[in-house]
Amino acid sequence: MIPKLTKIPVRQDFVDEVYKTLLDAISDGSLAPGVRITQEEIAEQLNVSRSPVLQALRLLKKDGLVHDAPGRGILIAPLDPEWIGHLYQIRGALDTLAARLAAEKKHAIGPEIIASGRKAARGKDVKAMIDADIAFHTAIYRASGNPLIAETTQLHWVHLRRVMGAVLQSSAQRESIWDEHQEIANAIASGDAKLATRLTEEHAFIARESLIAHLAEVLDNQPKPTRRAATLRAS
């Protein structure tokens, strides 16, 4: 039996909210790799019917975040450093393209995005740190003028949110990431496409190597997961 979850107020369509609640819990580690959950438990704790929970779990399964458990229930998928490394290679290529295109337009990334990111990095809210990072890169995707970049990265971010959540809970490099973001934003605003490209390539490489190393360390130090899951809260 999982601990009591915060009930979701009654509404007609709960699929998106149930999905987001479970995605946030998987991303921040509340639902750790290997934890078993059931449709009935989630429905009861979130005060919704089984139907939206079933649909949300199907979406999570399609994303590769959960798997069918032997017998009954759903297991939170394990984190695979090698697979994450491959994913980061693809994301790095797209980020570099977006930065070059945005720099060609001399697009200014809002300073409030950087400020929000630095504030999150100094706090303890992992979800806020992840959201701030996504907001920065999304701003560059939009500034590129190529809508396919943002579309293509959506699936990547579903998984990257998760590995970032595992790492940011213990990483000491939170604020230095935003120094790199500031340098990239400055290069884009000045129209220096060559510099923006180089900085983004370096940022992606450093992030990839750092995340994989920290993730391996986190996984080595993680206690063996049990069926018991932490409290989930509706967003």
Q: Per-residue pLDDT tens for 51-94?
A: 999 999 999 999 899 999 988 889 999 888 888 888 889 999 99
Q: Which of 48, 63, 78 is the last residue before a domain boundary? A: 78
Q: What angle do CA 218, 136, 108 make, to 5 degrees?
A: 155
Cα distance between the two ends of the chain: 22
- Cα gap 99→101, rounded to integer Å: 6
Q: Residues 40, 138: one domain?
A: no
Q: Residues 97, 161: one domain?
A: yes
> Distance from CA of residue 62 to its chain's centroid?
16
The CATH number for 60's domain is: 1.10.10.10
User: What is the reported pLDDT for 218?
Assistant: 65
User: What is the reported pLDDT for 72?
Assistant: 83
Domain extent, residue 88, equals 81-220
Segments of the chain scoring below 50 in pLDDT: 12, 225-228
Q: Residues 39, 116: one domain?
A: no
Number of structural domains found in the chain: 2
CB 141 within 8 A of CB 97: no
Phi/psi at 66 (5° precision): -135, 160
User: What is the reported pLDDT for 39?
Assistant: 92
User: What is the reported pLDDT for 5?
Assistant: 65
Q: Residues 212, 113: one domain?
A: yes
User: What is the reported pLDDT for 228?
Assistant: 46
Q: Residues 115, 188: one domain?
A: yes
